[in-house]
Amino acid sequence: MCGIIGYKGKEAFPVLIESLKRLEYRGYDSYGFATVHSGELHIFKNTGKISESNMLEGLPGNTGIAHTRWATHGNVNKTNAHPHIDCEKRIAVVHNGIIENYQELKNKLLKKGHVFNSETDTEIIPHLIEENIKYGFEEAVKKTVSQLKGRYAIVALERDTGKMVAVRRGSPLIVGVKDKEVFVASDIPAFLNYTNNVMYLDDNEMIVLDGENKFYSLLTGEEVKKRLITIDWDAEQAEKGKYPHFMIKEIMEQKETIMRAINQDDKEIEKIANKINNAFGTFFTGCGTAGKVCFAGEYIFSRIANKHINYVVASEFPNYKHFLTDKTLLIAISQSGETADVLEAIETAKKRGVKVVSLVNVAGSTIDRYSDHSFNIKAGPEKAVASTKATTAQLALVILLAHAVAGKLQEGKMLLMETASKVNDMLNPRYEERIKKLAEKIHKQPNIYIIGRSLNYPIALEAAIKIQEVSYIHAEGFAGGELKHGPIALIEKGVPCIVLAANDETKDDIIANAMEIKSRGGYIIGVSPENNEVFDYWLKVPDVGVASPIVNIIPVQILAYHLAVLRGYDPDYPRNLAKSVTVK
């Protein structure tokens, strides 16, 4: 959620501030910097947006740390913003995650005479390092983290030596290198403008940034050798270009990303298909939008491969541990590859001997590395909080796997190539303008409902998420057949109802559901290959058979975007949300 950047090399402040701006997509309410120069710590903290800062001059020094904070402990103010320091103003710390036992540790430190200024859990860290500094900076950090409970990423900066130490346990940290410059950040885009050569900190590992930049295991104390990985992203991909927001840019990139997602090694796809066929119980797991893709996967595998796959939302997956054996297979889906609840689900599975396959968008991410086999969905950097292009790329890969399980891999590839081509045709200025006109009609409505059946029931749920998270309109998705069991009571005159209709065996039933809603005054928005007299407004989508979830979600993504803009909200930074949920 929060963003971390540490840098050692040339003049630090310009690098730190540019890197923080590249992490703004993660969401934040305050920010801060600390640099070391001439034996002093220089600190600046503020609330609000970095672009609105009243800071007239930068901070001196070639080494520094910076942070964007999303409040979890304490109010939004300058005092609670990171970095936090010790009593002697010798140690500065930035931190992502939650220290579960911070109150107990804080009480002990208070009794020893330490003075605290903030309400945060983070502030205990520099004071604990201060307590142990007599052992040396690196050893003090080791002793400190051995006392902490929770999931976190920490970067500590020491005034006298200018050393930085970064530690990871459950929250991501990536090291970037370029000649004599070194970066440590919570996400790759922070330093992508400088380098795409990275090394990953694993859980219970530490790096000492002192020129030698060595990694160590916190469990054994031994040095750990790391492989340098070149990330296949470029800085231009991570910029808005001609678009006003990342969200609409990423929606439009689906012209290419669906095709990239299915450009996988056939042998690897067949290999995983064989594992699915031979598994005694297979589970999909994910959170939020990725969770809805998993739910759609249940229907996709049933329809295409005659195969039963269980979907369990990742935060609830540990409750299913009693069903897991060494013959079970877990398929985990995550855009970031760092989702805390998905990582916990994987940990639960691995304790029972389960093999893990993942679909992720970030090569080298924690989920990627913890999996027995991983597919990169190849969507490129996705910076808007609301996932769009990653969603359809995930759906495409799930459809491809289902075809492989059914022994129809090439048929699946042809279908998805045709789908990608039709999405390319669909995403044109006239289509967007038609959706914008719809948004103008309904953007003042307090409620929107979405219905779907079969493959498109999970997409109705995902459509609701998209509208909720960027426009703040109350939106709900329902199975069409469930209307009479309660939801129809919500329908009143003029309420917009989006009907996701595929050209399949569910078409007549979903149209009948639309008629039920219309007879009670609902305003019917049809998303369908064919128009129907029941629709008050029609958004045409191509007829792509079992790939209908891909094409049906795209017009709702565009609608959600324009609803947000018309209502005066920034769709890239929805309130209370962050791109990567790395804490539970």
Tell me the per-residue pLDDT of 33-48, one tens digit each, with 9 for 90 and over. 999 998 899 999 988 8
Phi, psi of 5 (to 5 degrees): -145, 135
Reading across the β-sheet that carries 282-286, which strands appear in turn? 310-313, 282-286, 329-334, 355-360, 373-376
Domain 3-237 has CATH 3.20.20.70: no
pLDDT in tens, 328-344: 999 999 998 888 899 99
DSSP per-residue string spanning 302-341? HHHH----EEEEGGGGGGGGGG--TT-EEEEEESSS--HH
pLDDT in tens, 17-26: 988 888 776 6
Whether the predicted pLDDT of 28 surpasses 80: no
- Domain layout of the chain by residue ranges: 3-237, 243-426, 428-584
Q: Which CATH superfamily is domain 428-584 in?
A: Glucose-6-phosphate isomerase like protein; domain 1 (3.40.50.10490)
Mean pLDDT of 493-502: 95
Whole-model pTM?
0.74
Q: What is the mean pLDDT of the chain?
A: 91
Q: What's residue 255's pLDDT?
A: 87
Is 2 assigned a catalytic role? yes
* Cβ pair 249, 241 in contact under 8 A: yes
Residues 6+ apart with CB under 8 A from 294: 284, 285, 286, 311, 331, 333
pLDDT in tens, 347-365: 999 999 999 999 999 888 8
Quick one: fold of 243-426?
Answer: Rossmann fold (3.40.50)
Query: Tokens in use for 451?
Result: 């219905």
Is 8 assigned a catalytic role? no
* Axis-axis angle for helices 254-261, 409-426 (nearest 10): 170
Query: Tokens in use for 501?
Result: 């209709």
Residues 6+ apart with CB under 8 A from 380: 233, 237, 253, 257, 260, 361, 389
* Cβ pair 389, 253 in contact under 8 A: yes
Residue among 360, 371, 363 nearest 394 (CA): 360
Query: Tokens in use for 132?
Result: 């142990």
Cis ω before 83 (30° cut-off from 0)? yes
Q: What's residue 29's pLDDT?
A: 81
pLDDT in tens, 269-316: 999 999 999 999 999 999 999 999 999 999 999 999 999 999 999 999
* Cβ pair 407, 368 in contact under 8 A: no
Q: What's residue 73's pLDDT?
A: 63
Least confident of 40-49, 179-188, 478-487, 524-533: 478-487
Catalytic residue, candidates 2, 287, 294, 497? 2
Q: What's residue 418's pLDDT?
A: 92
Fold match flag (243-426 vs 428-584): yes
pLDDT in tens, 78-109: 899 999 999 999 999 999 888 889 999 999 99
Catalytic residue, candidates 8, 307, 378, 579? 579
> Residues 465-480, buried b or exposed e (16+ Cβ, 10 A)?
bbbbbbbebebbbbbb
Helix (H) or strand (E) holding 150: strand 150-158
Whether the predicted pLDDT of 1 surpasses 70: no
Q: What's residue 489's pLDDT?
A: 79
Query: Tokens in use for 314?
Result: 């990742």
Q: How far apart are CA 473 and CA 571, in angstroms?
A: 13
Q: How far apart are CA 38 and CA 17, in angstroms?
A: 21
Q: What's residue 352's pLDDT?
A: 95
Interior CA angle at 246 toward 240 and 247, to 5°? 150
Q: What's residue 381's pLDDT?
A: 85
DSSP 53: -
| Pairing status of strand 447-452 against strand 496-500 | parallel
